[in-house]
Structure 1
């Protein structure tokens, strides 16, 4: 299950780290240490009723006095980034939920990191962790223009292990030299736009790739779970019918059972729920292939049932 920890933090600073990218530092109002986190973790900023957005932690996990997030202004977005840019000021209090991590850095001797645009944020602390562990690693970092690419100054200290490749200077990222003929045991971590993730996914051997999506992966076909099925809520002692076109999350909430949720798109992991019996049909963009195969948890905002019945730990 996902972490339900929620705290009100104070905005310590605001800094533009690239064109359209605003970095915020968040501190506890009483100076208390913040919850521990590891590279790949994200938090939810609770910006208002029905307005919660997920942002990767991109500071130093060893620094328990502050968290740092970076927010890309998205003119065509749903309003969260514009609110942060235009209304959140130094000294303001912001409700924050988390941290939560579905993109954890696993131990390895070698890493290949690929980041596109704001996808650099979860990768930043991974680089520091790989460096501290003595691993061999490289980063390929792309973006629309050099000025739009955040944290290039911080990356400069790593020298030629980092390749910064703005599209207007060098075209689309050349993935071949990075991903072809990977040495055995190399792990690939990638975050960025969906087209980049799809391209990396096509080239990576099974088991090597770990990625995080900001947008849900498009479903091209239907599945067994499109029809009606039953869901038994073990702790609540009720059994509900999930109708076609209605999510498990909607059905559960309509029955008065409170559950945490945020994106409702299967990308944030907030509504992850333990499965006690039955086989989920996974439609999220969070779980790894191994986690999907195990079927021990599911994202109830989008995933459904292969069969007629699920038993959930709710």
Structure 2
């Protein structure tokens, strides 16, 4: 998103909350209130120059004194999780952009929340909001083991009767066939977790009403039937330029080379940071952020991965 600024954040505490998961509480370095946010929001944390990672906020939106994130230590990662879990200490200062929300909680009388592992983080404030609104809700929470599943006690304190824990070492994979067999009228499904879980929930809930399922991915969705990359033009209305995007370059790379700054982060279509308004033309959407209707509208795109189906795109840049 063009124009977003970074916020200096002081690390107030660093606390292990389960096997492999570390909680960080972040406050404004100057002691001021942090920006407001809604359940499903995330921030982009700059761990060091050039290393930015996206984390869901899992604290209370009404508490603007601090933000809480939880980080899964991934040994095979590119260094972000290890740095936050092992090297960051209370008193350190980080910077972040956001919050932004591509996974909003829509009003509904009933919710089915399905979380896997660290995917519980955006779900926690959703459950609290649903509970406070008096909605009927249920959580199915899966993980490799009970020891790896963060915030079990906190979730149990909200309403233990509505929480079904599903540790894989004791119960195997979540029985989605049974869970999603019969569509429930007026129910929204929210799912976050590893790609195999999300893909399975998408498949098993395909017979539910349109837009019942809302998901957030931490990794790019698998793409099928993608057309080969070809060259196309982009017209930048604010910059009064026309640029050519060759087959081996992204729109983001081309505009950056032309000296036009667009804030970006993941560069794989999962964070939504580079979302750009499309004024004319037909994008080839390859992101993991927009839903089916948003892609069909063709009025916005993630320029880090998406391309063009038309010969020219006119962008609000």
Q: Could you say which TM-score interval applies, normalised by the shorter chain? A: over 0.9
Is 2:24 aligned against 1:20? no
Q: Which residue of 1 aligns with 2:197?
A: 196
C-alpha deviation, 1:2, in angstroms: 6.7
Q: How does 1:1-314 map to 2 (within 5 A)?
A: 1=1, 4-157=4-157, 158-204=159-205, 205=208, 206-223=210-227, 226-314=229-317
**Structure 1-normalised TM-score?**
0.97
Q: Secondary structure, in 3 states, of the residue corresponding to 1:94?
A: strand
Structure 1 CA distance, aligned partners of 2:106 and 2:128?
A: 14
C-alpha deviation, 1:178, in angstroms: 2.7
Structure 2 CA distance, aligned partners of 1:182 and 1:112?
A: 11
Q: Secondary structure, in 3 states, of the residue corresponding to 2:211?
A: coil
Structure 2 CA distance, aligned partners of 1:239 and 1:30?
A: 43
Structure 2 CA distance, aligned partners of 1:176 and 1:129?
A: 28
Structure 2 CA distance, aligned partners of 1:230 and 1:3?
A: 24
1:3–1:98 CA contact under 8 A, matched in 2? no
Structure 1 CA distance, aligned partners of 2:315 and 2:62?
A: 36
Q: Secondary structure, in 3 states, of the residue corresponding to 1:232?
A: strand
2:2–2:261 CA contact under 8 A, matched in 1? no
1:112–1:178 CA contact under 8 A, matched in 2? no
Structure 2 CA distance, aligned partners of 1:245 and 1:173?
A: 40
Structure 1 CA distance, aligned partners of 2:305 and 2:59?
A: 31
Runs ≥4 residues deviating over 3 A: none
Change (3 A) 1:3 1:259: closer
C-alpha deviation, 1:176, in angstroms: 2.9
Q: Secondary structure, in 3 states, of the residue corresponding to 1:173?
A: coil
**CA-to-partner distance for each residue in 1:65-95, whole Å, 9 max, x for gaps?**
0000000000011110011112110010000
Structure 1 CA distance, aligned partners of 2:276 and 2:81?
A: 28
What is the Cα-based RMSD across aligned positions, in Å?
1.1
**Structure 1 portions without partners, runs of 5+:** none
C-alpha deviation, 1:28, in angstroms: 1.1
1:20–1:72 CA contact under 8 A, matched in 2? yes
C-alpha deviation, 1:3, in angstroms: 7.1
2:269–2:288 CA contact under 8 A, matched in 1? yes
**Structure 2 portions without partners, runs of 5+:** none
**CA-to-partner distance for each residue in 1:161-195, whole Å, 9 max, x for gaps?**
00011000000011133322122121000000000
Q: Secondary structure, in 3 states, of the residue corresponding to 2:35?
A: coil
1:190–1:211 CA contact under 8 A, matched in 2? yes
Structure 2 CA distance, aligned partners of 1:138 and 1:281?
A: 36
C-alpha deviation, 1:218, in angstroms: 1.6
